[in-house]
Amino acid sequence: MGIAAGSLVALLFRFGSTFLWAVIGVLTARTLSVEDRGAYASAVVFTSAVGGITSLGAATGYFVANRKRDPAEVAGNALLLALLASAVSALCGVAVWLLVPGEIGRLALLAGLLLPPNIVRNSLNGVVLGEGRLLRFNLLANLPVVAGFVLLTLVLLVWSNRTAEAALAAWTLAQYVGLAPFVLRGRDWLTWPLHHRPRRDLIVGMLRFTAVSGLAGVVGLLNYRIDLLLVVSLDSREAAGIYASAIAGAEALWLFSSSIAMASFARVGAESREEAARITAAGVRHTGLIVTAGAAALALVAPWAVVFFFGPDYRAAALPLRILCIGTLLYAPQSLLNNYFANQLGRPVIALLLGLIALTISVGAGLLLIPPYGFVGAAWATTLSYLVSGFAAIGLFIWLAPARWPDLWRLRRDDLARYPRLARELALRTRTRRLDA
């Protein structure tokens, strides 16, 4: 599967996953009390973030794609580390359950049991992405969400067990169901540790890589949410609610750039330095084209869009949404450039430093602009942080990669020809499948 077709596949899965998450949000909002939904959502968000940050997914993908290590060997050694981390998280949940009585202790136990499948799945799925098996990667990543929707529907609607504990238990079970394909189709990965000794160099390398990429993930998570926290602290909860709606609209534009980054992950790691730079530059050009069009359209319809999706009480979100469209456009190539820094150069520390730059500017500018201008000041602070860190990333890419500044923005005839070519390819595949059926 080519990068263009892979990007489209990844984008379709992203749209489907986003829609399903929204449906789950509506389901839990309609069936759980506000307090119970808050407890359930907090546990899910926390464990998903921790599971993603602590998993070895970035490291396993790098060692398979770039270092050309055997996928079964990487998966087997990663599984040993993932199981160790899983045992620690489960024991922490049990300890809190034993020490804290009542519902809080039981929710902590479920959260501790929810982390292991997240850690294991993300670690092993990094191998799949490193192999360039994009369709399987997306299926494995989205299966737990589908299973979660089914089990939540059964528990909350069919059986009417409408408590935070019941909802979290259903979601936890769904995450274990999501591991079934690895058991059924990845037995050589799972049994590798039984027939081989652990590779010390590989384990140390993955731990070092994960330590940096995990810290970069923490900084990135803070960077995406620090402006909202500052609005809550320096303005009001009402202002934070309005600003959160603007953030949700602007960040939807990143679905395109993240899909291209996912589709090009394996090739950027596996190809030569020159070819990886060419692929990255082409991805940045396509990202700029698509996100510019999307940002312009979203900024144009912002006043009507926020009222349509969020209601008339959120009308004031239109202005920060328009400002954030600028920042989102400037920051859109970041995932592609970080992909090159980490997966081709093996230097995830660059993404960490860029994230720290953005975080520092966002906090500093936010402290200055939010008190006098409210959430509009927060939008400008975030946009400024994206501007500086975005151009810093571009400068580093041009310095470290065999690429020039025009390679990142000057569209070529072949770039535009790819779109009708992709349409013809998809039409041909669809016609062929219909004839085969």
Q: What is the pLDDT of residues 408-417, one digit of tens each?
A: 998 888 877 7
Does the predicted TM-score (pTM) go above 0.85? yes
pLDDT value at position 79? 95
385 near 362, Cβ under 8 Å? yes
CA gap 13, 293 in Å, rounded: 21
pLDDT number for residue 233: 87
What six digits make up the tokens of 359? 């975080």
Q: How many CB atoms lie within 10 A of CB 363?
A: 18
Which of the residues in the chain have pLDDT under 50? none
Dump pLDDT digits (tens) for 34-62: 788 888 888 888 888 888 788 899 999 99
Nearest to 126 by CA among 268, 296, 262: 262
Q: What φ, ψ does residue 374 adopt, rounded to 5°? A: 65, -145
Judge contact between 137 and 128, C-beta under 8 A. yes
Instruction: Quote the tokens at residue 189.
Output: 């990965």
pLDDT for residue 42: 83
